[in-house]
């Protein structure tokens, strides 16, 4: 095959693998909107709503390493394509559900499909670009094309979710089916005959450990970090993950090569993956809530407001990929990207009650650039460094680290913000001279104002005072939260810098 034909084949396979990764990437944005309509239509209880909100993520976490390990043994392309079919089955179940049980089953099945299709679409990048420089560019293009496609399809999916929640749950699976047809034609198969036996015990330990830890972290914002609902599953998860680590360290045929993470670059890949997803969660959730609660942005305005971040991600992905291909050190790129995100979060912390949107543009551009400066070299490490027999398992683990980072960032930032908000609001109302009866009404007034903009059912003499005090309290809590989260991301950047030895730097 001549060079032009080889590049053309690699380009076609890259686009197909981008398509295979999209169902999981699209799901959070569409699910967060559509699940409200599904909950109302299927008359879900509060417990059922809470369960289905995170069930897909938990099932992805439970099966992400298992699907990667199966791909290593039986064929990464085969398992990825099976994952796309499972995603379709889950979407159809959810879309046609007539009761909460069937809907929950659809979400669980979808999560398993996402684990196989996303994790192995990433691992298969190594089959279309064996040369290190080409692989670095392919990984960067995969990230950039994903981001571009997500922007377009999430807007379309979000709009559709507002019309029909049932139709919305078919968007990702239909994209996956088109990718499946394309992947069948242009993506080569890959597996390793020396992968060894299937490590069932290790995969059960890590599945239970990840699910327990993620379940605990997801409950922290609503229940508090010290509650039994958080501490019991968190401790159980940590014990199970420790047992998994010991088992894998001593196993002759590990499902996950934990010894490989003594390599500083893989260790930093895992740590920085958690770090940039912490920052990403704060941007995705806390900034959008600020825009809605304080500035009264409509959902479409929030989506459009994030465009500088998305544009920076797309542009910086190619740039970062070229830097990696040229041999620029991960020791330079990963900490620099995390520090850029930390600075962006700190800059956004100083928003006031009437801050114009233009103030957010530069920090959003810096955050998007920082995200890709971190993600491009670390993604490249996860797909280039593993031994051939474990590319699927190690590549899939990148998703597990990212999911934990996003869940942790969301839970910690929400816990900080709302933990600070209530006492700060009471203090502001006391300073304004509000009597205890008016203070008791404050939360109800603010909830009505945030959710509907309607405060007609409350005494107009205190509404203005409560909203003014609530805005000040929210901004104060938001500011402290953003600065703390920025400091956390900066600490992770410093740890990455410390772990990576200077000798890995290249001129």
Tell me the pLDDT tens digit for each residue of 69-78: 888 888 889 9
Answer for the pair 217, 241: CB distance below 8 angstroms, yes or no: no
Q: Name the percent of the chain lying above pLDDT 90.
A: 25
The arithmetic mean of pLDDT across residues 371-388, rounded, is: 86
pLDDT in the model for residue 133: 80
> In Å, how far are 67, 247, 258, 266, 416 from 252, measured between CA atoms?
20, 10, 12, 20, 44
Max distance between CA atoms of the chain, in angstroms, equals: 81
pLDDT in the model for residue 59: 86
pLDDT band at 504 (very low <50, low <70, confident <90, very high): very low
pLDDT in the model for residue 507: 32
Does residue 456 carry a pLDDT above 60?
Answer: no
Does residue 354 carry a pLDDT above 90?
Answer: no
Does residue 426 carry a pLDDT above 90?
Answer: no
Distance CA 20, CA 14 (A): 10
Does residue 455 carry a pLDDT above 60?
Answer: no
| CB contact burial 280-317 (16+ within 10 A = b; e otherwise) | bbbbbbbbbbbbebbbebeeeebbebbebbbbbbbbbb
**Cβ contacts of 498 within 8 Å, gap of 6 or more:** none
The arithmetic mean of pLDDT across residues 225-247, rounded, is: 88
Does residue 85 carry a pLDDT above 90?
Answer: yes
pLDDT band at 37 (very low <50, low <70, confident <90, very high): confident
pLDDT band at 196 (very low <50, low <70, confident <90, very high): low
DSSP state of 189: P
Q: Which residue has the higher pLDDT, 431 or 277?
A: 277
The arithmetic mean of pLDDT across residues 220-236, rounded, is: 82
pLDDT band at 506 (very low <50, low <70, confident <90, very high): very low
Does residue 220 carry a pLDDT above 80?
Answer: no
pLDDT band at 340 (very low <50, low <70, confident <90, very high): very high
CB-CB neighbours of 132 under 10 Å: 13
Token reading at 191 = 């597996």
CB-CB neighbours of 326 under 10 Å: 10
Distance CA 47, CA 409 (A): 23
**Cβ contacts of 326 within 8 Å, gap of 6 or more:** 133
Look at residue 131 and give its three-state secondary structure.
coil
pLDDT in the model for residue 413: 86
Does residue 290 carry a pLDDT above 80?
Answer: yes
pLDDT band at 113 (very low <50, low <70, confident <90, very high): very high
């Amino acid at each position: 095959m001549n060079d032009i034909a080889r590049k053309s084949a690699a380009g076609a396979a890259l686009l197909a693998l981008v398509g295979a990764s999209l169902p999981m990437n699209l799901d959070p944005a569409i699910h967060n909107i559509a699940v409200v309509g599904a909950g109302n239509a299927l008359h879900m209880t509060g417990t059922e709503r809470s369960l289905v909100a995170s069930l897909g993520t938990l099932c992805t976490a439970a099966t992400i390493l298992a699907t990667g390990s199966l791909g290593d043994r039986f064929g990464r392309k085969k398992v990825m394509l099976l994952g796309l079919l499972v995603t379709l089955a889950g979407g159809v179940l959810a879309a046609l559900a007539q009761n909460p049980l069937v809907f929950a089953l659809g979400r669980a099945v979808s999560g398993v499909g996402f684990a196989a299709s996303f994790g192995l679409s990433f691992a298969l990048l190594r089959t279309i670009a064996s040369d290190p420089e080409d692989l670095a560019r392919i990984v960067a293009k995969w990230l950039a094309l994903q981001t571009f496609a997500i922007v377009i399809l999430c807007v379309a999916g979000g709009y559709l979710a507002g019309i029909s929640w049932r139709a919305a749950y078919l968007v990702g699976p239909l994209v996956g089916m088109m990718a499946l047809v394309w992947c069948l034609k242009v993506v080569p198969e890959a597996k390793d005959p020396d992968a060894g036996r299937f490590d069932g015990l290790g995969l059960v330990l890590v599945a239970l450990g990840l699910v327990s830890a993620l379940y605990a972290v997801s409950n922290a914002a609503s229940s508090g970090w010290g509650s039994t609902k958080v501490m019991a599953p968190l401790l159980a998860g940590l014990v199970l993950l420790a047992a998994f680590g010991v088992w894998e360290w001593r196993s002759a045929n590990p499902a996950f090569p934990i010894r490989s993470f003594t390599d500083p670059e893989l260790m930093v890949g895992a740590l920085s993956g958690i770090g940039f997803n912490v920052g990403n969660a704060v941007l995705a959730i806390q900034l959008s809530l600020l825009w809605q609660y304080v500035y009264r942005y409509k959902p479409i305005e929030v989506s459009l407001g994030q465009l500088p971040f998305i544009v920076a991600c797309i542009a910086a992905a190619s740039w970062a990929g070229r830097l990696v291909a040229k041999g620029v050190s991960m020791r330079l790129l990963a900490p620099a990207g995390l520090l850029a995100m930390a600075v962006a979060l700190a800059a956004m912390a100083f928003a006031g009650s009437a801050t114009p949107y233009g103030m957010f543009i530069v920090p959003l551009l810096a955050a998007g650039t920082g995200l890709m400066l971190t993600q491009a070299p670390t993604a490249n490490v996860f797909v280039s460094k593993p031994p051939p027999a474990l590319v699927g398992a190690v590549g899939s683990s990148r998703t597990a680290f990212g999911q934990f980072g996003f869940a942790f960032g969301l839970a910690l930032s929400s816990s900080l913000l709302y933990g600070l908000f209530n006492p700060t609001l009471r203090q502001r109302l006391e300073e304004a001279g509000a009597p205890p009866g008016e203070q008791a009404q404050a939360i109800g007034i603010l909830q009505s104002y945030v959710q509907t903009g309607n405060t007609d059912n409350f005494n107009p003499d205190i509404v203005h005072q409560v909203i003014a005090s609530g805005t000040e309290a929210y901004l104060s809590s938001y500011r402290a939260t953003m600065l703390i989260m920025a400091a956390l991301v900066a600490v992770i950047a410093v740890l990455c810098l410390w772990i990576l030895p200077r000798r890995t730097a290249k001129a």
